[in-house]
A and B are shown apart, each in its own frame.
Chain A
Amino acid sequence: MEEMHGAHEPAFESWRFTVTATITTAVFLVLIGRIYMLQIVRGETYLQKSESNFVQSRRIAHPRGLVFDQAMRPLVDNRPSHDLYMTLAFLPDSEKSLRVLGRPLHWDKKRIQLLDERILDAADGAAPFVAETSIAPGTCDALRSRIDKKGLSGVRLAEDPVSPDDGCDLVIDPATFSSRKAVFARLKELMNLPPDIVEEAFASAQRKARGLGRFKPTLLFADLPFDAYARIEAALSLGELPGIDVLDSKKRRYLTGASGAHLLGFINELSASEYKEKRKEGYRLGDKIGRRGIERAYEEVLRGQDGTRRVVVDAKGRAKNTEWAKNLLGDEAVDPPVSGNSLVLSVDANMQRVAEQSFLGKAGSVVAMHIPTGFVLALASFPAYDPNEVTGRDSRRVWRKLARDPLRPLRNKALQDHYAPGSTFKAITAVAGLREGLITPTTIKHCPGYFALGRARWRCYNRWGHGAVALTKALQHSCDTYFYKLGYELQHDKLADTAKLLGFGSKPGLGVDREIPGIIPTTAYYQKRFGNRSPGLVINSSIGQGDVTVTPLQLAMAYAAIANGGITYRPQMVHEVRDPDGNVIVHFSPERRSDLGVGADLMHEVRTALSHVTEPGGTAVGLRWRRDMPELSQWVRESGVVIGGKTGTAQVVRLSKSVAHIDPKDVPYEQRDHAWFVGFAPAEDPEVVVVTMTEHGGFGGSMSAPVTAAVIKAYYDHVRGQGRYAPPDPALEGPPPAALAPAPATANPAPSSADAGTAP
């Protein structure tokens, strides 16, 4: 080997190598110490962090319980629907693209922000705008290569065709520039829905997705129409629409549309403030909750519980479904959802429909009740709304419209509005008289056309008077004088006692929505109101005017009691709760509220008297010969079913003498009388009672009676003797009280009771 110059001893002293090696080793020990720190000391923390990085809990929608009518016809179910979600953080970021463009142009932060706002705020179809003018040719080339390399869309360089050396302008088209705006524009195109609805949805979703919400999927649009869903799915599979997802969900469907709207109610998304209270009960943000009617009252039964599925996501939030990803999650990946229980209502869909279709007025309500049990067969309020629309995609507009409607369609008028009962209350006054022993069925009172007390006179609607009147005639002709006299004898408290036993003046206890109690004035009530006992005012009360108010549901309940011999049942609407497999888990039995304690024979007299209303001479005899509804009239005449009942025409405005008898059609709508008709059938052994209340309907006999009759006919056509409503069979309907079956044997006119001493 060739000799190299230099000494034959080592070139450098040994200590230099030792120092070098020591320093190197020391620094490497620091590195090892650092990874020891990260991996061993803090390893557990970082492991958890890595898990929360890639594991996302996604909910599995559960079906809410179904609602059936009494014959197991579905009224409310769930249909599959597709919801559109966005994750703001994964949508294209225009600011980023602008930064790329801005570098060669030396844009500062403020400039980029302004341009970003301009792009995001641009209206649809806004023309492309010039972001920068007369850029130097060199910079133009740099920009061009940036645009090509990054694949930026919606931006181009415009050159002056005459003198291309003068540089170029940078033109940005906000509709296609890579931003969330562009994604929304594309979505809008794919959805093909009215632009204002879509805009509103996008705007509210972007508001919700602020802060940490950027990383969470936010509902952009619920319940996509099917064709829109198909188009969006196709675009997603092509990798368009970054940051957009379509998730399957269940949408509540009210199969009968507006029919039964008030009794069924609807569901709605939990608001942020409600969520704070309800989270303890296991609700999550975005959950729906029952708002009205059955949906609200039986929320706990119907609700069920969402399940969760843990999924592995990558850094862009995309779910990974590989075998490897599944193994990462282990066995507890799915927490299965719990379906809600179903309800079987006592309501019959046919009767409900008939009640709604035959209603003649603009506003009011119809209540049908099964007399032996107190179960509600139909419950309608007018005007109604379609719960599908209220919860649908255009809900905001629908909601505004409903809230502004002067006829208050959102209110369930059968239980949430109270009215003067008018003449329908006379039966209650009569029962009170019998109960207190002030009259017997044969007690005769004279009607000269008015009742005078001191200098005051109360006129009978028949100014010539009805002459000698006993109970049957009084109710059949609705003679005011008879009840003025009886009422005056009873006075406030005795009348109120009976009325309260029949369910007036307190909430009926249906348990659905907020019921109101109505007013039954007592002496104490007048003491409080006027400071004196006002004994004369009972005369108004006795014919259902004055301060007396009742709800249609209360009236149905009271007439059911009158018809069944005096027992008041708590109104109920639900027969059974069933689990998702259809097994009955709860069965509801009739519940007694009170017993009138009046002899069965006396109650029979009242019932018989009421059964003459639809007969010649009765106030509702018109029902037999309605030209506009020949079929119904024929049924009333020929079916052999006797409808007992009472008309009522409640004054809304006190009319002066001169206008007392003008045609109701000439009176302004809001001044017309309320029209009542309570009917029950069959008169001899009543099973069903129907109350029709037509607000401002004029005369009860003509506006309300046909509705009641039609609903009763529907009972005969569709319900009576079938299934649940087979002829009263004690074994089937639970323990019916003994008094329920009034003995037909006592149908003969009963002898006057012991104290029947009052002669006309």
Chain B
Amino acid sequence: MSPSESIAGRVPWNIVGLMLLIPLVGVINLSSAAQATRPNLFLLQAGWAVVSLIFVAVLARIPTRNLELVAYPFYIFVNFLLVLVLVAGTTVKGSQRWLNLGFFMLQPSELAKISILLVTARYFSRYDVEGGYTLRDLIRPLNITRPLGGMAAAYMFFARLTKKAAEAIAEGAEDIPFTAPGWLQGVVYTILVLWLLIAIAVTLREGFSWQRLIAPLDVIMAPFALVLIEPDLGTSLIVIAIAGAQILFCGVHRKSLIIASVAGAITVVFGWSFLLKPYQKRRVETFLNPENDLQGAGYHSSQSMIAIGSGQLTGKGAGEGTQTQLSFLPENHTDFVFSVLAEEWGFIGAGFLIILFLLLILAIVREARQFHERFAVLLNVGAAAMLFCHVVINIGMVTGLLPVVGVTLPFMSYGGSSMVTQMLAVGLAVNTSVWRRR
């Protein structure tokens, strides 16, 4: 059995068929969506699809084991790019997400998804705990890095508060923002220093290991934080979701799961009050009541719902969607591309696409059933999770189920980075099937 024959014989044609079919639907849909504004956009998208498929073909030939070796170097490289984009990135619409490579605008946050997929799979394929991971396993609070990171975070936080207060005083504003008093800072730093001392003591007693230095949480939090401050809330959530899905799949201790859920809920409330930017808050607010402010922030959401709803059962026909063609639907070739499909092809077209996505995800998960390697399974689970998050968040947002967060619909939204990333993710699933052990 020659290697090429073996590859051809093991190609998961169900997955490959779907990864050809869905972009085809996407290209056809784009030819209508951008008809008025950029009539040749669908050709570009078709070009990107072809390029991505070539990448996938190349990826499929690399043994899964080698991918395992590449995971960490790639992870470090991507984090480097994420730092670079914060320093020298190009800002569009208020977020610094793009690296101008001259011929191509690279979006490192897209690569971050692939890299977290690989690295989490790599990490947890080698790290198994009987009865599921506990929070302690995942976080390892007595790591030396934890109090050090805490100090860095506390310093940045306090410095930011002080700066804001100073600005307010200089401007003569009436209400001066809260500044942390010296005693509070002192208390916080003291706790952190004590924590550090305990961590060092524990390390010295139990002996040094890499695990003492880097916990799974750190691996996930680094790209998450870097993407979040671009700011790109949607992508950062997906980064967390991919890793979270893989961890959940491996199994988490029941008690820890409950604690983590409660802590997550508290974080959401805290994040709402302190971390979200005003425009993000506004989006969430309008999501809760979109009809309230038609021309304002709720405009996107309600126009999208009008587009989808008015498609009814059979749609208005290709190129006949009034919401799309008369530009009532905003960003109709990127984030709101599903609304175009739903308007012009109706419930039949939109339902068909959702089922295609479902079949693709189920195929990826099903393929992994018989895999013998944890790494391969986790790659498939990560790819499925990534697709799942994109599809659910995007369709949820255009149908008014979720707030508008700017997440693309895989293979359907226009964009080179997005297309390549999604294809590569599915390509990983193709790879694992091709190289699986019988």
A positions within 8 Å CB-CB of B? 1-4, 6-12, 14, 16-17, 20-21, 24-25, 27-28, 30-32, 34-36, 38-40, 42-47, 49-51, 53-54, 89, 103, 106, 108, 312-316, 320, 324, 328
Contacting pair B249 A39 (CB below 8 A) = no
Q: How far is the CA of A51 from the CA of B310 in the complex (A)?
A: 9
Q: Which residues of A contact B400 (CB under 8 A)?
A: 38
26 contacts between A and B (CB under 8 A): A8-B372, A10-B369, A11-B372, A11-B374, A16-B251, A20-B365, A21-B366, A24-B362, A24-B384, A27-B388, A27-B392, A31-B392, A31-B401, A35-B350, A39-B346, A40-B313, A42-B309, A46-B305, A47-B309, A50-B306, A50-B307, A53-B306, A108-B173, A314-B328, A315-B328, A316-B327
Q: Which residues of B contact A27 (CB under 8 A)?
A: 388, 392
Contacting pair B326 A320 (CB below 8 A) = yes
Answer whether residue B354 sits at the interface, using C-beta atoms and an 8 A cutoff: yes
Within 8 Å by CB of A40, from B173, B312, B322, B327, lies B312
Total number of residue pairs linking A and B with CB closer than 8 Å = 158
Q: How far is the CA of A44 from the CA of B354 in the complex (A)?
A: 22
Q: How far is the CA of A489 from the CA of B396 in the complex (A)?
A: 103
Answer whether residue B357 sits at the interface, using C-beta atoms and an 8 A cutoff: yes
Q: A10-B372, A12-B377, A16-B249 are in contact. Are A35 and B365 (CB under 8 A)?
A: no
Contacting pair B306 A49 (CB below 8 A) = yes
Contacting pair A54 B437 (CB below 8 A) = no
Q: Which residues of A contact B94 (CB under 8 A)?
A: 103
Q: Which residues of B contact A42 (CB under 8 A)?
A: 309
Answer whether residue B323 sits at the interface, using C-beta atoms and an 8 A cutoff: yes
Contacting pair A4 B354 (CB below 8 A) = no
Q: How far, in Å, is A600 (CB) from chain B's closest CB?
A: 80
B positions within 8 Å CB-CB of A? 6, 63, 65, 94, 167, 173, 249-251, 295, 303, 305-313, 319-320, 322-323, 325-328, 342, 346-347, 350-351, 354-355, 357-358, 361-362, 365-366, 368-374, 376-377, 381, 384, 388, 391-392, 395-396, 399-401, 437
Q: How far is the CA of A315 from the CA of B347 in the complex (A)?
A: 24
Contacting pair A328 B322 (CB below 8 A) = yes
9 tightest Cβ-Cβ pairs between the two chains A and B? A46-B309, A43-B312, A50-B310, A314-B326, A315-B327, A39-B347, A38-B309, A47-B310, A28-B358
Contacting pair A32 B354 (CB below 8 A) = yes
Q: How far is the CA of A12 from the CA of B313 in the complex (A)?
A: 42
Contacting pair B377 A11 (CB below 8 A) = yes
Q: A24-B384, A49-B306 are in contact. Are A17 and B346 (CB under 8 A)?
A: no
Interface core residue of A2, A21, A45 (most chain B CB under 10 Å): A21
Nearest chain A residue, comparing its CB with the CB of B92: A149
Nearest chain B residue, comparing its CB with the CB of A49: B306
Q: How far is the CA of A103 from the CA of B396 in the complex (A)?
A: 30
Q: How far is the CA of A286 from the CA of B365 in the complex (A)?
A: 66
Contacting pair B346 A50 (CB below 8 A) = no
Contacting pair A28 B354 (CB below 8 A) = yes
Q: Which residues of A contact B377 (CB under 8 A)?
A: 11-12
Q: How far, in Å, is A143 (CB) from chain B's closest CB?
A: 13
Q: A9-B372, A11-B377, A31-B392 are in contact. Are A39 and B6 (CB under 8 A)?
A: no
Contacting pair A45 B249 (CB below 8 A) = no
Contacting pair B372 A38 (CB below 8 A) = no
Contacting pair B399 A31 (CB below 8 A) = yes
Q: How far, in Å, is B62 (CB) from chain A's closest CB?
A: 14
Q: A16-B249, A39-B309 are in contact. Are A106 and B167 (CB under 8 A)?
A: yes
Nearest chain B residue, comparing its CB with the CB of A17: B369
Interface core residue of A3, A108, A314 (most chain B CB under 10 Å): A314
Contacting pair A34 B399 (CB below 8 A) = yes
Q: Which residues of A contact B366 (CB under 8 A)?
A: 17, 21
Contacting pair B362 A39 (CB below 8 A) = no
Q: Which residues of A contact B311 (CB under 8 A)?
A: 39, 43
Q: Which residues of A contact B326 (CB under 8 A)?
A: 53-54, 312-315, 320
Nearest chain A residue, comparing its CB with the CB of B249: A16
* Other A-B pairs, 7, CB within 8 Å; known A7-B372, A35-B308, A50-B323: A6-B374, A21-B365, A38-B309, A44-B312, A46-B308, A53-B326, A316-B327
Q: How far is the CA of A35 from the CA of B371 in the complex (A)?
A: 36
Within 8 Å by CB of B310, from A8, A28, A46, A315, lies A46
Contacting pair B374 A12 (CB below 8 A) = yes
Contacting pair A35 B358 (CB below 8 A) = no
